[in-house]
Structure 1
Amino acid sequence: MSGDRVADIVMYALFLILPVSALLARRVPLKRTMAMALAWVAVFAVGLLIVSQQHRLSGITSIFSDQQVQGSETRITMAEDGHFWADVTINGIGRRMLIDSGATTTALSAATAAAAKLDTDESPFPAVLNTANGMVSARTATVAELTVGNVTARDFGVVVSPAFGDTDVLGMNFLSRLASWRVEGKTLVLVPATA
């Protein structure tokens, strides 16, 4: 056993001995102490579950959201991976999309297109895109309504391909519809165009 491992075991033993000795010195009934300990374990377990599954808890997680509407702006906090991810509604279907100013066009996965009931047969010819992963064949489609915070784009052109995997990307064709967008520190600020 390494010296660091022994030091960790001693530290954990002290963390356990101190509260147990304090409880024994106060002569707290064992049943009540165990009930209290189980209650605290349950509280921490529920808290950990909520934090780890916040992306699946729609509505409840607005307090955890990294996307907020403040005045006329939608503000999106940078994720831990260094990217900006937006909570987007596409024809009424909620998705989390990567905002990529290096992408010319908004690109949707085949699963998202199917969920949003997009007609990918609008054009008889596929589009050929030059992506970071090479050339990709994609179908074009039009989204009736795409919303990010307080920004709504109607009759919005997208490309759809199984080659995109599970990732949906908001590209420059979305950002160019805004009055402005900017990055302030670790926050992306979207300002909708006035009607």
Structure 2
Amino acid sequence: MTNDWMLGSLYLLMAIMLVAGSLISRREKFAKLATIALAWIAIFGAGFVLFSFRDDLSYVAQRLKAEATGDPVVEGQEVRIPMAIDGHFWIDAQLNGQKVKFLVDSGATMTTIGRDVAEAAGVTVNDGRTQVVRTGNGMLRVATGRADELSVGPINRQNIGLHIADREELNVLGMNYLSSLERWGVEGRWLILKG
């Protein structure tokens, strides 16, 4: 920490000396010299900021892209999902290799998909609708099933239990997936999932 401070101070001192030296060698009016000095200070300040945050600039670019497109930012085993305009977190996941759009819902106990999605993804579905679940739209009877694989970016889970709803078009990524993660939480306008 002390070395970083010393290097920063040395850099700043060199910048001030360079600006001061160039101003002393000129014989201009004070207003023009002050303008030039401020321009040099701004140039060196921008250089200092770029140099100091050079490792974080790629993350800034990823974040700007995510904000513009809604795509998650993936770094290793961490996925950062930007909040959608509707205030929810949506993610494209892979269910048995099939691309499925999920609403991330920490209020849902189980991950739930529609029957059409289950058929398209080859999910094993138990006969009958044996479970009753409470949703925002009231009580709903659902079947149970298991997916061989459910992946959100690089975070992959095997043999995931599911609820299958007959007439639901909304797929919900629930707590049975979220609780299997090393860490998850909301930071500002981002949902962070860490595998």
Match of 1:158 among 156, 162, 171: 162
Contact 2:129 2:142 in 1 (8 A): no
Match of 2:189 among 182, 186, 191: 186
Match of 1:112 among 104, 113, 117: 117
Q: 1:6-39 CA distances to partner (integer Å, 9 max, x unpaired)?
A: xxxxxxxxxxxxxxxxxxxxxxxxxxxxxxxxxx
Distance 1:143 1:72 in 2: 21
Q: TM-score, normalised by structure 2?
A: 0.62
Show the counterpart of 1:91: 96
**Equivalent position SS for 1:163:** coil
Contact 2:182 2:194 in 1 (8 A): yes
Match of 1:168 among 163, 168, 171: 171
Contact 1:136 1:163 in 2 (8 A): no
Distance 1:176 1:102 in 2: 12
Contact 1:67 1:87 in 2 (8 A): no
| 2:104 pairs with 1:72 | no
Show the counterpart of 2:39: none
Distance 1:138 1:95 in 2: 19
Q: 1:162-187 CA distances to partner (integer Å, 9 max, x unpaired)?
A: 232x1100001110000110111101
Gap regions ≥5 residues in structure 1: 1-60
Contact 1:127 1:140 in 2 (8 A): yes
Aligned length: 130
**Equivalent position SS for 1:112:** helix
Gap regions ≥5 residues in structure 2: 1-64
Please identify the structure whose Cα radius of gyration is greater.
2
Q: 1:78-126 CA distances to partner (integer Å, 9 max, x unpaired)?
A: 00100000110000100110000011110001111010111212x5661
Contact 2:70 2:84 in 1 (8 A): no
Q: TM-score, normalised by structure 1?
A: 0.62
Show the counterpart of 1:146: 150
Return the letter of the residue paired with 2:124: D
Aligned-pair Cα RMSD in Å: 1.9
Show the counterpart of 1:135: 139
Contact 1:93 1:116 in 2 (8 A): yes
Aligned-pair identity in percent equals 39
5 Å-filtered alignment, 1:42-61, equals none
